[in-house]
Amino acid sequence: MKRHIIKTEDGSHSFYVPELDEHFHSTHGAIQESQHVFIQSGLKQIKKETINIFEVGFGTGLNTLLTIIESDKTNQNINYYSIEKYPLTNTEYTQLNYSKLTGFNCNPTFLSMHDCEWGKTIKLTTNFLFTKIRGDINAYQFTECPLFDLIYYDAFAPNKQNGVWDKAIFELIYKHCAPGAVLVTYCARGEVRRTLQSVGFKTEKVAGPPGKREMLRAIK
């Protein structure tokens, strides 16, 4: 899968995938989109001292980085699992400018999350445990995972990668969520909302990031 690095409107990098005619992030701003969708609308809604997070689509590692930065501020303990089928190469992720733009001295941490061994839990910071999973969410069974408090659903859009939004996947995720768990996604499509509801989630539309009117948040 070929990818071309681009600069989004807030100055942060993303990738464009010609094969899918799709971007990894909003062209209005990669950092501001991830901050709004996954941190503001997701992580900040969870008030536990220890939070188990599962991310669908590790991608550039931006959501992971922003979660580390936020957990450093709140002193929450994070157990973070992220699955990716098509990981970036060293040449690709070393070009990304997130560490510079966040104003946080985290470039060694950012490189560590990309360089680390697949399937092995590592300690990225004093309160952040990270497990990177090489695989396809369609085939993943969650057998070695704890119950999750928060899901970052950051796959490509349903019209670009339809199978990743199937009911069977959301059923498995729902079963592996703790009561009160939150799922957040930039996607606000009606069929996705109805699928989430059909497996048991209560859904709500919340204001989207710049350039997008709405996004979805689902609660178990």
Domain boundaries, the chain: 28-219
167 — phi, psi (to 5°)?
A: -60, -40
Q: What is the DSSP letter of 138?
A: G
Write out the H or E segment, with its range, that includes residue 184: strand 177-185
pLDDT digit string, tens, across residues 169-220:
999 999 999 999 999 999 999 999 999 999 999 999 999 999 999 999 999 9
What is the value of pTM for the model shown?
0.97
Mean pLDDT computed over 68-96: 96
CB 13 within 8 A of CB 32: no
pLDDT on residue 90: 96
In sequence order, the 6+-apart residues with CB closer than 8 A to the CB of 47 are: none
Q: 28-219, what's its fold?
A: Rossmann fold (3.40.50)
Residue 9 in this model has a pLDDT that exceeds 80: yes
pLDDT digit string, tens, across residues 26-43:
999 999 999 999 999 999
175 — phi, psi (to 5°)?
A: -65, -30
Mean pLDDT computed over 68-90: 96
How many CB atoms neighbour CB 192 within 10 A?
19
In sequence order, the 6+-apart residues with CB closer than 8 A to the CB of 140 are: 83, 133, 172
pLDDT digit string, tens, across residues 113-166:
999 999 999 999 999 999 999 999 999 999 889 999 999 999 999 999 878 999
Write out the H or E segment, with its range, that includes residue 101: helix 98-102
Residue 104 in this model has a pLDDT that exceeds 90: no
Residue 34 falls in which region: left (phi positive, over 0), alpha (psi -120 to 50) or beta = alpha
Q: Considering only CA atoms, give the Rg of the chain.
A: 16
Residue 103 in this model has a pLDDT that exceeds 90: no
Residue linked to tokens 């659903």: 153
Report how far residue 76's alpha carbon sits from residue 79's, in angstroms, rounded to the nearest whole number: 10
pLDDT on residue 76: 96
pLDDT on residue 183: 98
Q: What is the DSSP letter of 57?
A: -
Residue 145 burial (C-beta neighbours within 10 Å; 0-12, 13-18, 19+): middle
pLDDT on residue 105: 67
How many CB atoms neighbour CB 200 within 10 A?
13
